[in-house]
Amino acid sequence: DTGVSQDPRHKITKRGQNVTFRCDPISEHNRLYWYRQTLGQGPEFLTYFQNEAQLEKSRLLSDRFSAERPKGSFSTLEIQRTEQGDSAMYLCASSALDRLSYNEQFFGPGTRLTVL
């Protein structure tokens, strides 16, 4: 399978614990995006990388959230001191910077986080 993969698919944690999610983009894609989707809503942008550089962060990304893409390949999203409001689906997407047409983003299956 050469699509975007995310791990784990599901995570249940207790309030106050730290969690880390991983995203592996399509191998030749330069850009990697993180989104958060709560029940009944569309995905909301969190942050994105071009290669290893984090180019933009949403206001949704509080100081408890940190994302990295150390070698321009896979990315991790860490949430510290989780709160019940962090319960959501965390989606990763990737796209190829050198596409001449448009920025089609390919999404992974998501990580569903439940904070008890």
Partner 1 sequence: AQKITQTQPGMFVQEKEAVTLDCTYDTSDPSYGLFWYKQPSSGEMIFLIYQGSYDQQNATEGRYSLNFQKARKSANLVISASQLGDSAMYFCAMTKGRRALTFGSGTRLQVQP
* Distance, CA of 31 to CA of 40 (rounded, Å): 27
Contact (Cβ atoms closer than 8 angstroms) between residue 34 and residue 58: no
Does 112 contact partner 1 by CB under 8 A?
yes
Does 93 contact partner 1 by CB under 8 A?
yes
Does 74 contact partner 1 by CB under 8 A?
no
Does 49 contact partner 1 by CB under 8 A?
no
For residue 49, what are its two tokens? 């990388």
For residue 65, what are its two tokens? 């959230």
Cα–Cα distances in Å, from 34 out to 14, 26, 73, 101? 23, 14, 14, 22
Does 95 contact partner 1 by CB under 8 A?
yes
Q: Is 72 left (phi over 0), alpha (psi -120 to 50) or beta?
A: left
Does 52 contact partner 1 by CB under 8 A?
no
Candidates 1, 14, 39, 42; binder of partner 1 (CB under 8 A) is: 42
Does 28 contact partner 1 by CB under 8 A?
no
Does 94 contact partner 1 by CB under 8 A?
no
Binding residues for partner 1 (CB under 8 A): 31, 33, 35, 40-45, 48, 56, 58, 89, 91, 93, 95, 97, 102-110, 112
